[in-house]
């Protein structure tokens, strides 16, 4: 019985020693630094994505106003630019949270309403855009 008790005490002492070693200040500092770096990277990515989204949303609002009086040629240019920008943001949107995805859908719905208005006003304008084309 005494040997079992001694083995348990030795096991507990080794476990406490291992946890103490793992939690020393140097290890904690390294771990905290790595966590901080990861959070900074995530925040920078989030800020960049939010900036791109805000910029595009403002562009859609501006172009929607212009579209009310745009010529067919101007509308073709607007629609081509929209398609290009939408494709870029759609490619990134799979990493967004649900709120951002909902807002993104609202922007796309807003543009769809603009398209419907313009098509009623000037007719169906066909835009052939290769959004994956690489510029040389």
Q: Residue 25's pLDDT band (boundaries 50, 70, 90)? A: low
Instruction: Judge whether 56 lies within some domain.
Output: yes
Instruction: Judge whether 128 lies within some domain.
Output: no
Q: In the predicted model, is pLDDT for residue 16 greater than 80?
A: no
Query: Which residues constitute the domain of residue 94?
Result: 2-122
DSSP 8-state secondary structure symbol assigned to residue 71: -
Compute the distance between CA of residue 19 and CA of residue 11 in angstroms, rounded to an integer. Answer: 12
Q: What is the pLDDT of residue 136?
A: 44
Instruction: Judge whether 34 lies within some domain.
Output: yes
Q: In the predicted model, is pLDDT for residue 24 greater than 80?
A: no
Q: In the predicted model, is pLDDT for residue 92 greater than 90?
A: no
Over the range 12-42, which residues count as b (16 or more CB within 10 Å of their CB) and which as e?
A: eeeeeeeeeeeeeeeeeeeeeeeeeeeeeee
Q: Please give the tally of structural domains in the chain.
A: 1
Q: Are 53 and 85 in contact (CB under 8 A)?
A: no
Q: Residue 6's pLDDT band (boundaries 50, 70, 90)? A: low
The pLDDT tens digits of the residues spanning 61-91 come to: 999 989 888 899 999 999 999 999 999 988 8
């Amino acid at each position: 019985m005494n040997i079992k008790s001694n083995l348990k005490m030795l096991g507990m002492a080794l476990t406490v020693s291992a946890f103490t070693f793992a939690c020393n200040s140097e290890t904690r500092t390294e771990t905290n630094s790595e966590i901080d770096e990861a959070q900074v990277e995530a925040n920078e990515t989030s800020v960049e994505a939010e900036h791109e989204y805000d910029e595009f949303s403002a562009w859609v609002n501006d172009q929607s106003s212009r579209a009310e009086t745009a010529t067919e040629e101007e509308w073709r240019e607007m629609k081509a630019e929209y398609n290009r920008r939408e494709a870029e943001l759609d490619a990134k949107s799979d990493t967004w949270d649900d709120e951002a995805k909902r807002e993104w859908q609202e922007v796309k719905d807003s543009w769809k309403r603009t398209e419907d208005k313009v098509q009623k006003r000037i007719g169906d304008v066909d835009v052939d855009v290769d959004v994956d084309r690489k510029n040389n």
